Amino acid sequence: MEHQDTFRESLFKTYEDNKRVLIPKEEYGTIISELLQAASVSKKTSHQYYLLKKYKVLQCGDSERLIRRRVHADEAPLYFVSIEETFDVVKRAHIATGHGGRDKMVYELTKKYANITIEALNLFKSLCLEYQKKRKRPTTKGIVVKPIISKDFNSRAQVDLIDMQSMSQGQFKWIMVYQDHLTKFCVLRPLTSKRAAEVAFQLLDIFLLLGAPCVLQSDNLFRIY
């Protein structure tokens, strides 16, 4: 809550310099009623023309939202948000991108919103402890892993198990993922257990389908006898 207040106050401080972009909640409501009025009069003032050129009112359930006026009717609406709403909108994008930085948030937000500023994103990110921690994490620079290049289909395949025990489907608790290294062709099989016999049964079935690979690699999630 504390962050939200800091964030909002900071946006209000820049409002004077950013009047064409930032909209306080009160003004948001005013613009909507001005727009509705402007649409109904035949002789419009230049301010009314300005509003009609920039905005459109979109009825969303029982509330009215401001969107950017569209050139084509099938364009996805770009919503204007008030200063008061901006924190929640940015927060959602930040969380959705896994505590993403500015660019990830920009990518997420420009699809849907018309007036989120870069300054607001930078500010939000500076308030997030998780993001700061993430940035300080040491990178693995310097460690170069030589990639394994496969030339042919079936020269190398990989098998892994995905643990689905917390979301089992009936008797099935694991997903076996079999993937050809070159083509990335992938076969999925449900397993009831990690038992070698069950894994071998499914592997044999895949080998009979695609042919056996020269090398079969796996993490030591299970042992194949």
Task: Give the contact letters, 77-106, x = binds to Zn ion (CB under 5 A), - = no.
Answer: ----------------------x-------
Closer to Zn ion at the Cβ: 3 or 44? Answer: 3
The Cα 211–Cα 195 span in angstroms is 23
The minimum distance between CB 2 and Zn ion, in angstroms, equals 15
The minimum distance between CB 107 and Zn ion, in angstroms, equals 16
Closer to Zn ion at the Cβ: 130 or 152? Answer: 130
Closer to Zn ion at the Cβ: 69 or 133? Answer: 133
Residue 66 near residue 57, CB atoms below 8 Å: yes
**Given the rule CB under 5 A, which of 18-26, 50-58, 128-136, 214-222 is the region that contacts Zn ion?**
128-136
* Residue 220 DSSP SS3: coil
Strands 63-68 and 55-60: antiparallel
* Residue 63 DSSP SS3: strand
Closer to Zn ion at the Cβ: 54 or 91? Answer: 91
Distance of CA 71 to the CA centre of its chain: 26
Single out the residue of 128, 206, 216, 221 in contact with Zn ion (rule: CB under 5 A): 128
The minimum distance between CB 92 and Zn ion, in angstroms, equals 11
Q: How many residues does the chain have?
A: 225
* Residue 21 DSSP SS3: coil
Q: Which two tokens stand for residue 67?
A: 């969107």
Single out the residue of 18, 68, 131, 172 in contact with Zn ion (rule: CB under 5 A): 131
The minimum distance between CB 10 and Zn ion, in angstroms, equals 17
What ranges make up the beta strands (E) of the chain? 55-60, 63-68, 156-163, 174-180, 186-191, 215-218
Residue 181 near residue 150, CB atoms below 8 Å: yes
Single out the residue of 88, 103, 130, 163 in contact with Zn ion (rule: CB under 5 A): 130
The Cα 39–Cα 184 span in angstroms is 57
Closer to Zn ion at the Cβ: 56 or 99? Answer: 99
Task: Give the interface size with Zn ion as a residue count (CB under 5 A).
Answer: 4
Residues that bind Zn ion (CB under 5 A): 99, 128, 130-131
